[in-house]
Copies of this chain bind each other. A is one copy, B any other.
Amino acid sequence: MFYVIGLGLSDEKDITVKGLEAVKKSERVYLESYTSILMVDKERLEAFYERPVITATRELVELEADEILKDADKVDVSFLVVGDPLGATTHTDLLLRARAQGIPTQTIHNASIMTALGSTGLQLYNFGQTLSMVFYTENWKPDSWFDKLEENLKIGVHTLVLLDIKVREQSEENMARGRLIYEPPRFMGPKQAFEQILYTEAARHQQLSDEDNKEGQNGDTKEGEGEGESGQEVERKESLLPPDKTLAISLSRIGTPTQRLISGTLEELAQVSEEEFGGPLHSLVIVGKRLHALEFEFAGKFAIGGEQGAWWKVGQEVYGVERETFN
């Protein structure tokens, strides 16, 4: 049997009882190491499983899948993935290959950030498509995520934004010299993510304003714009994502003992220091206009500035949520 087993979010004990039983009877145990990381070392997994764990790099999974699947029709092989194992097509590909070879497969599900984000108090039902944000560089600032975010914002649903991680990067020098030496892993923090969001929002807004000016000269207007509710100054083109009037939440180390959530406006969150957010992993949520009272109240417990924070003002005045009392 080829088992694909989710490990959940935090440590060795987040595996399910069923998953642990499968691992313990497996002849080989692989740990997928390039789409996410667990918050504990591989050694701790090995001690808990009483089994050696083989690190499965992207090269191994993509180029030598048959090595992983070898003999899985005769013996048990486990492939461990942080979170839920089927979030990304990376691993569905492995399952397709197994089936093509007549190998029986079993998936053992687990928690993922996509359900654990319920910790924000926002309802999972109210989330739209999920975005991924990569590290911007001097010359490369891919912003197609912004179009998807706008699609969600127009509907009014919330948006989960997953932040880039870089593992097994080579420096330019090591790559040029053909040395297989890798840089330490890098994880995008919320500060950088919020700054990138503000950067692209400003760039897109600039672009829209330019287009608008052109259209204005032609006596033409774009339908459906300039009708928003967020009360922008007249000289500024209406944005779906005004930094001082958009609520967001940072999610750090969800499901771990040091879990930290911070809620506020985009503008406020971009001012929070990296130290305040703390270590990886992080993701964030942009709050949609369909926010309702209980979501507002729960997520407000993490608001910058507490009861006096901009969270409450923007939620009531811009999002139109009324505060209720829960006791």
Contact = CB atoms under 8 A, between A and B. Distances in A.
A140 interface: no
A89 B298 CA distance: 10
A123 interface: yes
User: Which A-B residue pairs are the 4 nearest by beta carbons?
Assistant: A86-B118, A109-B111, A84-B115, A13-B18
A15 interface: yes
A297 to B, nearest CB: 7
Given A83-B115, A111-B112, A128-B128, 17 more contacts: A11-B18, A14-B17, A14-B109, A15-B17, A17-B17, A84-B116, A89-B295, A96-B301, A99-B301, A107-B255, A109-B111, A110-B111, A110-B115, A111-B111, A114-B124, A125-B130, A127-B129
A132 B128 contact: no
30 contacts: A8-B16, A8-B110, A11-B18, A12-B17, A13-B17, A17-B20, A83-B115, A84-B118, A85-B118, A86-B115, A86-B118, A86-B119, A86-B124, A89-B295, A92-B118, A96-B298, A97-B326, A100-B327, A109-B111, A109-B116, A109-B255, A111-B112, A111-B115, A114-B114, A124-B130, A125-B131, A125-B132, A128-B129, A129-B157, A151-B155
A157 B151 CA distance: 10
Contact of A114 (B21, B99, B115, B294): B115
Interface residues of A, number: 59
Nearest to A301: B99
A317 interface: no
Contacts of A197: none
Most B CB contacts (10 A, CB to CB) among A12, A119, A127, A129 go to A129
A119 B107 contact: yes
Contacts of A99: 301
Contact of A92 (B18, B85, B121, B155): B121
Contacts of A95: 298
A279 interface: no
A35 interface: no
A306 to B, nearest CB: 14
Contacts of A121: 89, 92
A21 B112 CA distance: 20
A13 B84 CA distance: 16
